[in-house]
Amino acid sequence: MSATDNLTPHARNTARISQAAEKRKADWLQFRHAGHTVAGACQEVGVALNTYQRWRQRDPEFAARADLAGQRARGDASGFNGTLQDFERAFIPSPEGGRVEQSFYTAAIHRALEGTREGEITLVLLPPGARKTTTLENWAVGKLATDPNHRILNISKSLDHAKKSVGRMQALLTDTSLTAEMIARFGPFKEYGQEKRGKPWAQDHFTVATSTLSHRDYSMTARGWTSQIYGSRADTIIIDDPQTIDDVDQTEKKLDKLRLDIFTRRPGPGRGRVVILGTRLDHGDLYERLIEEDVVDHYLKFPVVDGDGEPVDPVVFPKEHLPKVRKQVGEQSWAAAYMMRPKLGENATFPSDALDECKQPAMAAGPLAEHEQAAPVVIGVDPNLGAGYTSLCALAYWPDRARVLDSHEWYGLSRTEDILDRLERWASAYRPVDVRIEINAFQRGLQKDERLRALAREYGFSIREHTTDKKKVSHDLEQLGIATMARSFLKREIEVPWHRDGECDVASCSACHELPDSREVGWTRRRMEPLVQELEAWRPVRGSRLKQDRVMSLWIAWIRWQQMRPTAPSDDSQWDRPTGWKPVAYTPLTSGRR
C-alpha cells in the first residue's frame, strides 16, 4: 500500500502534482548544472519561465540551489576564459552603437583595474575624453557577470552622474536588444520579484540575481562625492574624477574624506582594492597630494602626446586634431589636463625647461657622498606651527653651485616638539652648519626653544633667523623675495637629484653603487617631484591658494648660500666647514615617510 492510498481523491491528485513539480525542479537543476541557461533548462523540462519564477518565490531552498547551479554553469560551461578586456570586446556594445572600440587608454584602465592587488591603491591620470567612465561601466558589468558575488563601490563627482552610470549598467545586464548573448550565457541578472528576496534593483544600487551575498551587501553601489557613504563593504572601490577645477581649494578636505570615509569601506586590512581615475587640474590638486603623501601604491599617468610629439592614443586623439584641441582649451588647460604637467606657461618665474636642465639623473637625494662631505649644508625650516605644512629643505653648497639634498613636509604639526623631532633626524643625517628658521609673531618662540639650542650644541650648527615680515629691515635678498632665486635655476647653478632609485638601467651607475641597502624604490623622485611642481607653479602674487611651503624652505636655505658666496674662496678645495662643526654618527634618511 502506497502512502497516498488512504487519501481522498483530491488529496491524491494534489500529491501527484507536487511530486511531479519536485521532479521537474530536480530535472531543471540537472540541466542548469550541465550548462544550460535558465530559459534553456525551462524548455528542457517543459515549463514556462513564469513557473520557474514562482518556484523561486515559494521555495527558498530551490532558489538557493538554482543560484549555486548557475555559478557552476558559468564556471564550467560559459566557454569564457579571457580577461575582462576580452569580455568587453566580445559582449558589450558601444554607447554610440556597434562593438566597443578599444584603445590604448581603455587598455590602460583595464590593466589598472585588474592589476591592482588586494590591499593596494592605484592612481591613473588620463586626459579628458579618454573614455574613463564608459570603460569603468563595462568593466563592472563584466566583473559581475563572471563573479556575481563581487562587491563594487563606484564614487563619481556627483550623484546624478553616478545614477547615470548605474542606469547604463542595468541596461547592459537586462536588455536583450543590447547584450542578448551575454545574458543568455551568464544571466539572468535580474529576476521577477527578486527585491522581495533582498536583491534590490534601485537607481543607485543593485544586486544581481545570481549573487548569494547577504541582504546588506549589494553587487553595485554608486555614490556621488558628497553623498553619505555607509553600510556594507566593497571588494573594489572605483573613484571616478573626484575633483573639479571649481573645488581645487578643497583638496585637504577631499584627502581627509578619502582616508576616513572611503578607504575604510574595504573589507579589512590588506583586503579590497582602490582604483582612482582622474585628470590633472592644477598644482595643489588632490592627485598631487596623493602622490606627495605616498598614499598610492601604483601611479600611472598618460598624457596626450609622448616625448616625440606623437599621440599616445591615436584612436582617441588623432594627431591632426591635436593643434585644434590645444588652441581651443588654452595653454593652461593643455599643460595640466592634457599633458599632466600644470605650469604657468611663458610667464613662469621658474620655467619648466630651466628646471629640467637642473635635474641630475645620475644623482640621488640624501646625504653627501664621503668625498663631498667637506661642503657646508644649510637646512631651511618653514615651521607653520599649528596650521598648514611644516617644510624642511637641506641644501649643500659650493662657491659655484648648490645641491638640494632633501625636501619634505608634514601637515598639521601642532607642537614645537613635533617639529624638533623631525629637525633632529635631519641634523643627524645631513650634519648642517646652519639651520635657518622662518620666524613670525606666532613662531618666534621656536627660535628660543631650549631643546633647539641643545640640538645646535650637540650637532654643531648655528641657528639663524629668517623673516618675511615686511616691517623688519632685512637683507636685500629677503626684501626682493623668492623670485630672486629664479636666477640660480636659469643659470643652472642648482642641482636637483633625479635618480631612479631601484629602477635605474644605467650600467655602472655611481649613484646606484652609493645607495644604502634600505633605500626605497623611487625615493629620490618622490622627494624632488613635489618641490619641482611647486617651483613650476610659484607666482609673485599675494593670496595664492597654491602650496608654496617647499619653495619657502628652499629659499630660506638659498639665501644663506648667497650670503656666503662673496667670501668664498675660488678654489673648491679650500671651501670647508666652519671650525665649530663636529662630526656625529648618523643614520641616512631612506624612507619616504620620515
358-374 as b/e: b if 16+ CB within 10 A: bebeebbbbbbeeeeee
Q: Which residue has the higher pLDDT, 81 or 498?
A: 498
Would you state the pLDDT for residue 475? 43
> Which pLDDT score, from 0 to 100, does residue 468 have?
55
Q: Look at 154-168, 206-220, 310-324 and tell me which has the smallest mean pLDDT.
A: 206-220
What DSSP assignment string belongs to 223-262? EETTS---SS--SEEEEE----GGGGGGHHHHHHHIIIII
Query: What are the distances in angstroms from CA 140 to CA 71, 165, 166?
Result: 17, 10, 10
Contact 427, 455 (CB under 8 A): yes
Report phi then psi at 301, rounded to 5: -135, 140
Mean pLDDT of the chain: 81
Cβ neighbours around 489 below 10 Å, total: 18
Closest C-alpha among 301, 333, 281, 294 to residue 545: 281
Q: Which of 61-70, 269-278, 505-514, 570-579 has the highest mean predicted lDDT (pLDDT)? A: 269-278
Confirm or reject CATH 3.40.50.300 for domain 84-302, answering yes or no. Answer: yes
Query: Residue 582's pLDDT is what?
Result: 40
Question: How many CB atoms lie under 10 A from the CB of residue 36?
Answer: 19
Q: What is the pLDDT of residue 467?
A: 62
Flag the least confident range among 239-243, 259-263, 547-551: 547-551
Please answer whether residues 274 and 266 qualify as being in contact, where contact means their C-beta atoms are separated by less than 8 angstroms. yes
Residue 128: asked if its preceding bond is cis (omega within 30°), the reply is: no
pLDDT at 579: 38
What is the percentage of the chain residues whose pLDDT exceeds 70? Answer: 81
Q: How many residues does the chain have?
A: 594
Q: Is the pLDDT of residue 474 over 50?
A: no
Q: Assess whether pLDDT exceeds 90 at residue 490.
A: yes
Interacting residues of 529 by C-beta distance below 8 A, sequence separation 6+:
291
User: Span 331-349, mean pLDDT?
Assistant: 77
- The greatest distance separating any two alpha carbons of the chain, rounded to the nearest whole angstrom, comes to 120
In this prediction, residue 239 carries a pLDDT of: 93
Helix axes 9-33, 49-58, angle to 10 degrees: 100
* Residue 184: per-residue pLDDT: 85
Domain boundaries, the chain: 9-73, 84-302, 305-343, 352-564
Class in CATH terms, 352-564: alpha beta
φ, ψ dihedrals at 273, nearest 5°: -130, 145
What share of the chain has pLDDT > 90, as a percent?
29
Among 23-37, 113-127, 520-534, where is mean pLDDT lowest?
23-37
Q: Is the pLDDT confidence value at 154 over 80?
A: yes
pLDDT of residue 80: 60
Grid cell digits, residue 465: 633667523
Measuring CA to CA, how many Å separate 41 from each of 32, 67, 73, 98, 147? 6, 13, 12, 30, 21
Reading the block at residue 483, the C-alpha cell is 623670485
Average pLDDT over residues 334-348: 75
* pLDDT at 573 > cutoff 70: no
pLDDT the model gives residue 208: 93
CA–CA distance, 351 with 85 (Å, rounded to integer): 41
Which cell numbers hold the place of 449?
Answer: 626653544
Q: What is the 3-state secondary structure (H, E, C) of 110-149?
A: HHHHHHCCCCCEEEEECCCCCCHHHHHHHHHHHHHHHCCC
pLDDT, residue 548, reads 79
Q: State yes or no: pLDDT of 520 exceeds 70.
A: yes
| Predicted confidence (pLDDT) per residue in 249-263, tens digit | 888 899 999 998 888
**Structure confidence by residue, pLDDT tens digits, 416-458:** 888 899 999 999 999 999 999 887 644 555 556 788 889 999 9
Cell of 523: 625615493
Q: Which residue has the higher pLDDT, 573 or 154?
A: 154
586 or 514, greater pLDDT: 514
Can you give the pLDDT at residue 592? Answer: 39
Classify each residue of 518-548 as buried b or exposed e, where b means 16 or more C-beta atoms within 10 Å of its C-beta: ebeebbbbbbbbbbbbbbbbbeeeeeeebbb
| Residue 466 dihedral angles phi and psi, to the nearest 5° | -130, 140
**By the 8 A CB rule, do 236 and 113 touch?**
yes
Query: Is pLDDT at 577 greater than 50 in this prediction?
Result: no
